[in-house]
A and B are shown apart, each in its own frame.
Chain A
Amino acid sequence: MKKIYLDNNATMPVKPEVLEALLPFYREQFGNPSSLHWAGRMVSGAVEKAREQVAALINCSPAEIVFLSCGSEGDNFAIKGTADALKDKGNHIITTSVEHPAVMETCEFLERNGYDVTYLKVDEDGMLNLADLEAAITDKTILISVMWANNETGNIYPIEEIGKIAKKHQVRFHTDAVQAAGKIPVDVQKANVDLAVISGHKLGAPKGVGAIYIRRGTRLTRLMHGGHQERNRRAGTHNVAGIVGMGVACELALQNLEENYTYVRKLRDKLESGIKELVPEIKLNGHPNPDLRLPNTLNISFAYIEGEALLLHFDLKGIAASSGSACTSGSLEPSHVMGAMCVEVILAHSSTRFSLGTDNTAEDIDFVLQELPPIVQRLREMSPLYNRDELTPLSCDECRIIRRI
């Protein structure tokens, strides 16, 4: 069976050049870069080279990069590390209602420990009102945390403008750039960001490696205590092979940024216009202007049907995508991002994310466009909500809008 992978925002394959570059670091170059001897010396240079490659992708100094295990660790470090380091200055954090759980749940943890958190609302397109953001700043505000791009909708947030607001009010600014890095330009200096987090496996490096940019002079309480690695900022033996892979992946991403953007964007736009043409009663989740979304991401709800059932049918055809339905999240409620955007609950349950990669082809998209409409129709024919005579909902539960705030 043909296998079509459209879940690149979840993870993507390790790029062949990356794999080739990192394998020696599991074999002959096995040393611990903190060791003094020949085995350690053999690899310490490789870690520093990777640091330069990562720094180049986001335009910072290599000394401002700290390697860690994943994006979630980076977000925890940035937020908890700031909350502790600046606790004498204030206890207020501003974030958004559409963040990744790594930010959201870290903020909720801090709320239970005496911090105040403002979760900025978004509009129906999932966008922020920057006047609300500025108005939320108080003399107790120690951190603004806004993702560079949203993992579910692909919405790109105005990070440069938020950076200006943060600078004007002298508030530290953290951004989860996990989905943005490698897909669109990420320039931490231009955007006046103090802390930015990226993840290796979202741009073609292996799982288990990430990096955080910490602007020079930013006081951050360490999360991981122990050894003196990473200039005392993050304990733990370096994941040398992963770090080397991440360096190469960042270098490739930077080299091919424009070319990849154009290629993937063309396929995504083909999928988007194809679905709009072939399937009635759908809703695009995210900003209608495709320039304001990541080039690879498309999130669509299909009225009257449920997302997991759709994904299972896709899977039977070899198509891998993801869903915001409660059934795939392990909770009883659909995606908090759909909730924050006031997507009607039935539509939220069918929100389906297609996230493309450079490995996809136009034939892949043709295949999806051929298979998708009959699957949707079949599930609709099976749904008690489709072609219902009475227009009023079953009960008020049915039109309940789940909002976080």
Chain B
Amino acid sequence: MYTDKVMDHFSNPRNVGEIENADGVGEVGNASCGDIMKIYLRVEDNVIQDVKFKTFGCGAAIATSSMVTEMAIGKTIDEALVLTNQTVAEALDGLPPAKMHCSNLAADALHEAIKNYKEHNA
């Protein structure tokens, strides 16, 4: 049901963890649907230097979280804001249709973290 890329990111997730004194933190999701994602950012000169995540959720939730961290690292804030749940799913060679809504929130979590960063640095 999952692509090889999803299974790769699920079984070897990249950038799991937290960042102490992160420049931005974002959390999205809802326990009743079974998915909560939390993203931590370290930003220098408007460039995302490091991203870490913690996720409660299914295989798709963990894989999209891992993928979004890989996609965001090295990007400027503006570049990162262009990432969408759809582009994250595409980078994983797609998700099962049932997972597109409930478990595909990683870009939203990233955007929340960026929003949080901007509030701190406004």
Contacts and interface: CB of A to CB of B under 8 A. Distances in A.
B31 A398 contact: yes
Given A316-B11, A330-B98, A383 B32 contact: no
A306 B57 contact: yes
B36 A384 contact: yes
A210 B57 CA distance: 37
B1 to A, nearest CB: 10
B58 A385 contact: no
A308 B59 contact: yes
Category for how many chain B residues contact A: 20 to 34
A305 B60 CA distance: 14
A332 interface: yes
Interface of A: 304-309, 312-313, 316, 325-327, 330, 332-334, 345-346, 349, 381-385, 393-395, 397-398, 400, 402
A333 B56 contact: no
B11 A349 contact: no
A308 B54 CA distance: 16
B30 interface: yes
B67 interface: no
A65 B77 CA distance: 70
Interface SS of chain B:
mixed
Contact of A305 (B27, B38, B56): B56
A384 B102 contact: no
A399 B38 CA distance: 18
For the complex of A and B, 5 pairs with smallest distance between CB atoms: A308-B58, A327-B58, A384-B54, A384-B38, A398-B31
A304 B54 CA distance: 12
A382 B32 contact: no
A346 B55 contact: no
20 contacts: A304-B56, A309-B57, A312-B58, A326-B33, A326-B34, A327-B57, A327-B59, A327-B99, A334-B34, A346-B56, A382-B16, A382-B62, A383-B54, A383-B56, A384-B36, A384-B38, A384-B54, A397-B31, A397-B32, A400-B31
A124 to B, nearest CB: 19
B54 A349 contact: no
Contact of A325 (B10, B37, B55, B58): B58
A266 B113 CA distance: 50
